[in-house]
C-alpha cells in the first residue's frame, strides 16, 4: 500500500484504518490475545504492545518479525506527537534491553534523536520465542549491513509504521518516521549465570568484551531483568594466577564510573579519619546496597575500613560471593534486609541508648553503631521512570534524620544520584540541606550520575597545604581528579 503525500489526508486516514484492520488479522493471537484495531490510534502513557507480524520484505530479518509499540510515560505537550522506529541489532534479540517492556522503557530516545521527545517508539526484530528463550551469547557482526537492502527493508515497513502511528500524528499531513540506531560498546557477551532472587527478581551474570580506549577490556557484569539497561555491578576480568588458562574478577578495582567519585568524597573528612587511625582504630563505614561487593571490598582492602554492608536480596549476596569475589571476614560483614528499614532501626536503638535505657553491647549484634561514613548506592528499581537513584523513600526527612543520628559528629554520608529530572535533583538537594550542615557535589562526568556528600558538621575544603598519610594513601589508590572536582553547593 503506497501513500502519495498529495492525496487528501482524509483518504490517507481511511486507507490506514483499512491497514490497521489487516494488521490485527495478521497478528499472532497466541501471544497477544484480542487486540482492538483502534488501540494504536491513541497514545496511552507507558503502554507496551508486542506481537508477531509477517515480514513485508526480503532482508536481514526472518520471515516473521517481532513488533513492539511503546508509548512514552509522558504525553506530548505540543501536538503532533513524534514517532520513530528502531531496528533491534541482529544478534541482540534475546537481550532484555530489547525483548522486555522494562528494557524498552529505559531506552533514552531523546539521546538518539535530536529534537522533541518521542511519544511513540516502534521496534522491529527477528521473531523468536521471547518467554522461553534466555538471553543468549552475542558477538558483534564483523561487517556492516548492506545499505541498499536495509533501505529497501525500511521502505517496505513504512505502511506498517504509518498504521501504528497515533491519529494525532497526522495533524499536519503524513508524518516523518525516522529510524533510530542503537549502539553500545559491547563487542561480545557470554552468559555466566541466570538466577532469580526474592527481591531483585530475575538477574543474570555475563562476561563481556567492552570496546574502550586504549584497548578492549573483559568485564563481568550483573544486570536485573526489571532494570536491564542499568548495569548493577561490573568488574574487570584478569588472568587467575592460581588457575592456568582461566580468568577471574580483579579485586580492588572500581569500574563503575561513580564509585571513584564516591570514594573521593572521603577526602572531606581525611583529618578526622587520620586521627582515628593514629589511635589504632579502623574507620567504620555503612554501605547501603552491596550488589557485587566492589565498593565494600575496596574500602576494606585499600583503605583499611571496617565495613557493615546491607543488601536486600540474599541471592545477590550469593552472586557477589560466587562470581565477583566478595569475601566476608572480621572487618567486612553483610546484613540481609531492607536498607531504609535497617537504618531506621539502628537510629531508634541509638536514640534509646542516648536515653540510657540499653547497653551499647546489645546493639547491632554486639558492635557499636557509630559510623564515620555512610555510602548509599541504591537505585529506585522503577522501569517506568527510567534509571534513578536513590529511591524517593530514602530522601524522606525521617530517613535522613535517622542517617544523621547513626553518624559520628564528624561523619559524612555519600550518595550516588541518578536524577530523573532537574526538578528531582533540586528537590533532593533541598531535602539534604534541611537536615545536614553542608552539602558537596562531585560531577561524575558521564552525563548520568552525580555524587553528593552531606556532612553532619562543617568541614573545611582545602585543595592545598600538607597532607596526612591517610589522604596520601587515598590519592594513591584513586588519583586526584575527582578530589579536585569537589564543590560546595
32, exposed or middle or buried, with CB in 10 Å at 0-12, 13-18, 19+? middle
* Contact present, 220 and 324 (Cβ < 8 Å): yes
Tell me the C-alpha distance between 420 and 401, whole Å.
23
Helix (H, G, I), strand (E, B) or coil at 375: strand
pLDDT for res 354: 65
* Torsion over CA: 340, 341, 345, 346 (sign): negative
Of 287, 315, 340, residue with least CA distance to 199: 315
Three-state secondary structure call for residue 339: helix
Question: Is the peptide bond preceding residue 461 cis, with omega within 30 degrees of 0?
Answer: no
Grid cell locating 193: 549465570
pLDDT score at 75: 76
Integer Cα distance of 266 and 264 in angstroms: 5
CB 457 within 8 A of CB 410: yes
Per-residue pLDDT of the chain (489 residues; tens, 9 = 90+): 445 544 555 666 666 666 666 665 655 443 445 666 678 888 998 888 888 888 887 666 677 888 899 988 877 767 789 999 998 888 888 899 988 888 888 876 544 444 556 888 888 877 655 444 567 789 998 877 778 888 888 888 898 899 899 989 988 888 999 998 888 899 999 999 999 999 999 999 999 999 998 999 999 999 999 999 999 999 999 998 777 778 899 988 899 999 999 999 999 999 999 999 999 999 999 999 999 999 999 999 999 999 999 999 999 999 999 999 999 999 999 999 999 999 999 988 877 766 654 444 344 444 456 899 999 999 987 766 667 899 999 999 999 999 999 999 999 999 999 998 899 999 999 999 999 999 999 989 888 899 999 999 999 876 655 578 999 999 999 999 999 999 999
Distances from the Cα of 383 to the Cα of 132, 229, 315, angstroms: 22, 9, 21
- Determine if the peptide bond prior to 46 is cis (ω within 30°): no
Q: Distance from first CA to last CA of the chain, Å, rounded? A: 59
**Residue 45 CA to chain centroid, in angstroms?**
21
Angle at 307 (CA atoms; ends 301, 309), nearest 5 degrees: 120
Length of the chain: 489
Sign of CA dihedral 399, 404, 407, 413: positive
Cell of 130: 521471547
Q: What is the pLDDT of residue 131?
A: 45
C-alpha span between 171 and 95 (Å, rounded): 36
> What cell numbers appear for 71 in the block?
508509548
Note the Cα 93 to chain centre separation in Å. 20
Q: Where are the domains of the chain?
A: 9-180, 186-249, 259-488
Helices (H), 250-362: 259-264, 270-278, 294-303, 314-323, 339-354
Tell me whether residue 123 is exposed, middle or buried, using C-beta atoms within 10 angstroms of its C-beta: 0 to 12, 13 to 18, 19 or more.
buried
Please, is 411 exposed, middle or buried when counting C-beta atoms within 10 Å of its C-beta (0-12, 13-18, 19+)? buried
List the grid coordinates of 135.
Answer: 538471553
In sequence order, the 6+-apart residues with CB closer than 8 A to the CB of 235 are 219, 220, 249, 250, 253, 255, 292, 294, 324, 325
Q: How many CA atoms lie within 13 A of 320 on its CB side?
A: 25
Q: Which CATH number fits domain 259-488: 3.40.50.150, 3.10.440.10, 3.90.180.10, 3.40.50.620?
A: 3.40.50.150
Query: CA angle at residue 309 from 308 to 311, to 5 degrees?
Result: 150
pLDDT value, residue 30: 39
DSSP conformational letter for 265 = G
Contact predicate 486/442, CB 8 Å: yes
E strand or H helix at 122: strand 120-126
Q: Please give the order of strands across the beta sheet that includes 371-376.
A: 332-336, 306-311, 284-288, 371-376, 407-417, 450-455, 438-443, 486-488
Q: How far apart are CA 129 and CA 435, in angstroms?
A: 51
Amino acid at each position: 500500500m503506497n501513500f502519495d503525500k498529495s492525496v487528501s489526508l482524509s483518504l490517507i486516514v481511511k486507507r490506514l484504518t483499512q491497514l490497521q484492520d489487516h494488521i490485527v488479522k495478521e497478528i499472532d493471537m497466541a501471544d497477544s490475545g484480542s487486540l482492538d484495531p483502534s488501540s494504536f490510534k491513541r497514545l496511552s502513557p507507558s503502554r507496551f504492545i508486542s506481537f508477531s507480524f509477517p515480514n513485508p520484505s526480503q532482508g536481514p530479518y526472518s520471515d516473521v518479525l517481532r513488533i513492539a509499540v511503546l508509548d512514552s510515560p509522558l504525553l506530548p505537550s505540543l501536538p503532533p506527537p513524534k514517532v520513530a522506529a528502531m531496528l533491534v541489532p541482529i544478534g541482540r534479540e534475546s537481550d532484555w534491553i530489547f525483548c522486555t517492556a522494562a528494557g524498552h522503557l529505559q531506552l533514552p530516545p531523546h539521546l538518539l534523536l535530536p529534537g522533541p521527545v518521542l511519544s511513540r517508539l516502534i521496534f522491529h526484530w527477528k521473531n523468536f520465542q521471547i518467554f522461553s528463550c534466555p538471553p543468549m551469547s552475542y558477538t558483534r557482526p564483523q561487517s556492516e549491513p548492506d545499505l541498499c537492502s536495509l533501505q529497501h527493508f525500511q521502505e517496505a515497513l513504512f505502511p506498517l509504521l504509518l498504521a501504528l502511528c497515533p491519529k494525532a500524528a497526522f495533524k499536519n499531513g503524513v508524518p516523518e518516521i525516522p529510524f533510530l540506531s542503537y549502539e553500545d560498546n559491547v563487542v561480545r557477551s557470554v552468559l555466566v549465570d541466570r538466577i532469580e532472587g526474592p527481591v531483585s527478581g530475575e538477574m543474570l551474570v555475563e562476561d563481556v568484551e567492552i570496546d574502550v580506549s586504549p584497548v578492549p577490556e573483559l568485564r563481568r557484569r550483573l544486570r536485573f531483568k526489571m532494570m536491564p539497561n542499568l548495569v548493577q555491578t561490573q568488574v574487570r576480568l584478569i588472568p587467575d594466577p592460581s588457575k592456568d588458562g582461566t580468568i577471574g574478577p580483579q579485586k580492588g578495582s572500581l569500574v563503575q564510573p561513580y564509585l571513584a567519585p564516591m570514594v573521593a568524597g572521603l577526602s572531606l573528612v581525611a583529618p578526622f579519619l587520620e586521627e582515628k587511625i593514629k589511635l589504632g582504630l579502623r574507620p567504620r563505614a555503612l554501605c547501603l546496597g552491596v550488589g557485587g561487593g566492589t565498593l565494600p571490598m575496596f574500602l576494606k582492602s585499600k583503605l583499611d575500613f571496617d565495613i557493615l554492608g546491607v543488601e536486600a536480596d540474599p541471592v545477590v549476596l550469593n552472586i557477589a560471593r560466587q562470581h565477583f569475589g566478595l569475601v566476608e571476614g572480621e572487618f567486612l560483614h553483610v546484613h540481609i534486609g531492607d536498607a531504609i528499614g535497617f537504618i531506621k532501626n539502628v537510629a531508634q536503638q541509638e536514640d534509646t541508648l542516648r536515653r540510657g535505657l540499653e547497653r551499647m553491647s546489645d546493639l547491632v549484634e554486639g558492635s557499636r553503631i557509630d559510623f564515620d561514613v555512610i555510602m548509599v548506592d541504591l537505585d529506585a528499581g522503577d522501569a517506568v521512570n527510567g534509571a534513578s537513584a536513590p529511591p524517593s523513600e530514602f530522601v524522606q526527612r525521617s530517613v535522613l534524620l535517622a542517617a544523621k543520628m547513626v553518624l559520628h559528629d564528624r561523619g559524612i554520608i555519600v550518595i550516588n544520584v541518578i536524577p530523573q529530572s532537574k526538578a528531582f535533583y533540586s528537590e533532593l538537594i533541598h531535602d539534604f540541606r534541611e537536615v545536614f550542615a553542608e552539602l558537596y557535589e562531585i560531577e561524575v562526568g558521564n552525563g548520568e550520575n552525580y555524587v553528593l556528600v552531606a556532612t553532619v558538621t562543617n568541614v573545611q575544603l582545602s585543595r592545598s597545604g600538607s597532607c596526612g598519610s591517610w589522604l596520601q594513601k587515598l590519592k594513591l589508590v584513586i588519583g586526584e581528579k575527582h578530589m579536585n572536582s569537589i564543590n560546595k553547593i
